[in-house]
Structures are given as C-alpha cells and as structure tokens.
C-alpha cells in the first residue's frame, strides 16, 4: 500500500511523535509497503509538481526513513516562531500527499493531532486514516469530559474536578478531594505538566504549572498503588501490562528514559482481576465512542479497587511502547501490529 505516516506537529509531544512515526514507517516498509514519513505541521516543500504527477516518486520503493526523520527534526527550533506567524496548521504539500495515499497512519500525539481536528478535516476530504474518528478523539482528549462519561457508563474513576483559569481556586480541603492529589492539564499527554501535590503549597504550585500549558486543568484524588495499561483493538482488550517506575511516578522522564520503568506483560494478576480490568477497558472504549484502537490507563489501590485514569487514542508506537508489548504477547511483532491497525482502521 501507498501510505503516509503522519507525525510531528506542534504539541508538547512532537519529539515523541517523530520517534513513533519513524518506527511505524520502518515497520511498514519491512512489510513491503511504500510508506513515507511526513510532518503534519512543517510538511515538505521539496515535493514538486512533477512528483505529484508520478506516484512512484511520491511513494518510492527505496526510501531513507532516518533522513526523513532528520528533516522533520530540522524544524524543531523554528516551531515556536512558526506558530506566531502562520495561520494554517497543515504544512506544505501535506493534504495533497495524504489525498494521494491509500491510507494515512496517524503517528501524531497530543493536541492538534490526537484531539480530533485533523481527523475531522480528513473525514471531510475523504482521506482514510488509522485510529478513532473526530468525535471519539476529541472526547478522549478532554480528560475532564472523559471522567464524566466514565462515571455515567459505570467505569470506575478517581474522584476529581476541573478548574478553569480565572475561577476561584478552592483549597484541597475545600474542594472535597483533599491531599495528596494529582493536578494535570486537561488535554495534555505524556504526563507533561502533571504534578502530585502533598501540601497546599505544592497544590498551588501544581496549578500554576498546569495552567502554564492550558486554560483548564484536572484535579484528581491521588490513588496509591499499582499502575496498569490495557490496549483495546477492534473493541477487544489486549493483555494487561503493569508499569512500575523505579523512582517517582510514571512521568515524562520515566516514560521515555531507558531502564527507568519496569514493564511486565502479562501483568502479575489473578485471572479474575485481569478480566475485570479488560472489561472496564472495553467499557471505557465504548463510553468515549472510540474506534479501531486505543489504550486505557488504570490504577489499582491497595484494596485492589480499579480506577480508569484516561484513554490514549493514538498511543506511543515504538517496539518498546506499551501497546506493541501487549501485542507481542499475542504473537504479533511490531510490523505485524502496524499492518493490523491499518486493516482494522480501513475495515
């Protein structure tokens, strides 16, 4: 297939997205697909009209994925300035190249990529892509809205609330959540801007940090215990994976620093608890109107109560990311998983 792997963008997860996109593109090329890597925001000005007149030039059989990734990274220092001077989100030749592809593999992470806006444009243009549609993507990106839908559909989640910039800031003793608590941007990802507050001073600082990223933040009860994740593909839960950081919590550093976290799949749980978590993952998937695939994050407290934290509609996609590790337990290697996600999405 002729495939565009779309990555990069302008969110706080741009670098992670480039890594995911690079690995996806390599995996698909290993399977014989004519996949190319493209930055959704910066595009590729090197593509000419002659290239668009010849699909073999747009989707060549021989292709240097690492060179394409390096080209994307060459824009990193310019992103902040480009955001100030540009009105249009899509970069040079992006929409034309995506139209020319048989399918777009969404390697985007974070807002303005994972949050439904790109998906909505593609829907209007008739461009096929992997992952959930515009509605499910937008709903899942909003952690405050996700929490309310979980509660409405019987998916257990931690007690919490949302706070908007400029609203009266109630203290932890006044807001009914208490300490310790977790403060995080409402629509962020990769744990960027997430803080655990154990004192009122830390709570005030955590709000300031989170509001540095967004206009609305989520404040949640802190759940002490074990952390897990469950992929859901085509509506069915994958094996449960346990995430155990050697220090602190599963923040940005522990997510992406080699050796910082012990990941065990299948998780060391009895069959009943495994099935319970998988059932809640599938319920959360349906509650948020997700399609194709996603990954649900859970906490389990010391009394073995489960709490669904959030959904990731475009989870990390490197061979060591959580969803690929779960797929490996089912006998599916990384390249096979990439192909399977395309098959499910196109179907």
User: Which of 145-159, 166-180, 290-304 comes out lowest in average pLDDT?
Assistant: 166-180
Q: Which CATH number fits the domain that encloses residue 202? A: 3.30.1490.20
Residues 293 and 247 placed together within one structural domain of the fold: yes
Q: Are the C-beta atoms of residues 186 and 162 closer than 8 Å to each other?
A: yes
113-167 pLDDT tens trace: 899 999 999 999 999 999 999 999 999 999 999 999 999 999 999 999 998 987 8
Average pLDDT over residues 27-32: 97
Q: Which of 194, 221, 248 is the last residue of a domain?
A: 221
Examine the domain organization and report whether 14 and 117 are in the same domain.
Answer: yes
Residue-number span of the structural domain to which 183 is assigned: 159-221
Does residue 307 contact residue 223 with C-beta atoms inside 8 Å? yes
Domain count, the chain: 3
How large is the angle between the packed helices 334-346 and 322-329, nearest 10 degrees?
Answer: 100
CB atoms within 10 A of CB 20: 24
276 with 172, same domain?
A: no
Is 346 inside a domain boundary? no
Query: Is 120 found in the same domain as 27?
Result: yes
pLDDT attached to residue 215 = 87
**103 in the same domain as 19:** yes
Same domain, 39 and 72: yes
- The DSSP code for 125 is H
Query: For 41-76, how does the pLDDT look when each residue is reduced to its tens digit (9 = 90+)?
Result: 999 999 999 999 999 999 999 999 999 999 999 999
Alpha helices (H) in the chain, listed in sequence order: 14-30, 49-52, 55-58, 65-73, 79-85, 94-100, 117-125, 134-141, 143-152, 200-211, 252-256, 271-287, 322-329, 334-346
**pTM attached to this predicted model:** 0.91
Q: Of the candidates 136, 113, 140, 88, which has an alpha carbon nearest to the alpha carbon of residue 13?
A: 113
Higher pLDDT, 173 or 321: 321
Q: Both 238 and 185 in a single domain?
A: no
């Amino acid at each position: 297939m002729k495939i565009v792997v779309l990555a990069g963008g302008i969110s706080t997860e741009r670098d992670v997205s480039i890594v995911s996109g690079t690995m996806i593109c390599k995996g698909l090329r290993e399977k014989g697909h004519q996949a190319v890597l493209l930055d959704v925001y910066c595009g590729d000005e090197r593509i000419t009209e002659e290239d668009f007149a010849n699909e073999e030039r747009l989707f060549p059989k021989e292709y240097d994925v690492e060179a394409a990734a390096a080209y994307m990274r060459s824009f990193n220092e310019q992103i902040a300035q480009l955001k100030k001077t540009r009105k249009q989100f899509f970069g040079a030749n992006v929409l034309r190249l995506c139209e020319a592809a048989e399918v777009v593999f969404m390697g985007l992470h974070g807002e303005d990529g994972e949050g439904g806006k790109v998906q909505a444009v593609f829907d209007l243009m008739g461009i096929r892509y992997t992952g959930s549609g515009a509605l499910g993507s937008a709903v899942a990106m909003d952690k405050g809205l996700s929490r309310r839908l979980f509660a409405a559909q019987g998916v257990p989640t931690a007690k919490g609330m949302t706070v908007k910039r400029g609203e009266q800031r109630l203290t932890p003793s006044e807001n009914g959540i208490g300490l310790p608590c977790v403060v995080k941007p409402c629509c962020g990802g990769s744990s960027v801007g997430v803080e655990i507050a154990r004192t009122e001073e830390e709570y005030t600082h955590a709000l300031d940090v989170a509001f540095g990223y967004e206009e609305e933040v989520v404040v949640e009860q802190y759940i002490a215990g074990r952390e897990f994740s469950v992929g859901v593909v085509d509506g069915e839960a994958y094996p449960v994976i346990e995430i155990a950081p050697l220090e602190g919590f599963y923040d940005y550093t522990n997510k992406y620093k080699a050796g910082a976290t012990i990941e065990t799949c299948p998780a060391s749980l009895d069959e009943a608890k495994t099935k319970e978590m998988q059932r809640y993952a599938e319920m959360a998937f349906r509650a948020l109107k997700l399609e194709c695939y996603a990954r649900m994050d859970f906490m389990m407290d010391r009394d073995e109560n489960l709490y669904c934290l959030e959904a990731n509609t475009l989870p990390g996609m490197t061979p060591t990311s959580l969803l690929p590790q779960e797929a490996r337990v089912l006998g599916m290697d990384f390249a096979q998983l990439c192909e399977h996600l395309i098959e499910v999405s196109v179907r």
